[in-house]
Amino acid sequence: MIIIFFISIAMVASIVGLGVSKNIIKSIMFLNLLQANIILLFISFNYHEELVPPIFNGNLENFSDPLPQALMITAIVIGASVTALALMFSIKIFHHFGSLEWDIIKKRID
């Protein structure tokens, strides 16, 4: 239960950081941190001490459900792809506007 508390604090910190960051790279990193915290939250919901991995050849009552772990590894791959794409877009934005600061980009758009 205490790990959920720490994960929720880290999630709030990453949401606040995402809201107050003035740099595109920092926004991307805070978004990546938020995604990692959400994955940790989902995995911590599935964790119980008495459960065993489903590869063990024993009692079928104590197997952990592999579906959340499979979904989270998919989320990790998709998150890495989205982060790479966002960093590529930030490079394109820097070449076009000459800055990565949100305020300067807004002024140059107007």
Structural domain contains residue 20: yes
Structural domain contains residue 60: no
**76 and 102 Cβ atoms separated by less than 8 Å:** no
Residue 13 scores a pLDDT above 90: yes
What pLDDT is recorded for position 56?
A: 62
Structural domain contains residue 52: no
Confidence of residue 47 (pLDDT cuts 50, 70, 90): confident
pTM above 0.75, yes or no: yes
Distances (CA, A) of 86 to 79, 83, 91: 10, 5, 9
CA angle 57, 46, 8 (to 5 degrees): 155
Token digits of residue 86: 């966002």
Structural domain contains residue 91: yes
Confidence of residue 105 (pLDDT cuts 50, 70, 90): very high
Structural domain contains residue 57: no
Structural domain contains residue 55: no
- Tally of domains in the chain: 1
What CATH number should be reported for the domain holding residue 7? Answer: 1.10.287.3510
Q: Range of 10's domain? A: 2-47+65-109
Structural domain contains residue 56: no
What pLDDT is recorded for position 38?
A: 94
Structural domain contains residue 34: yes
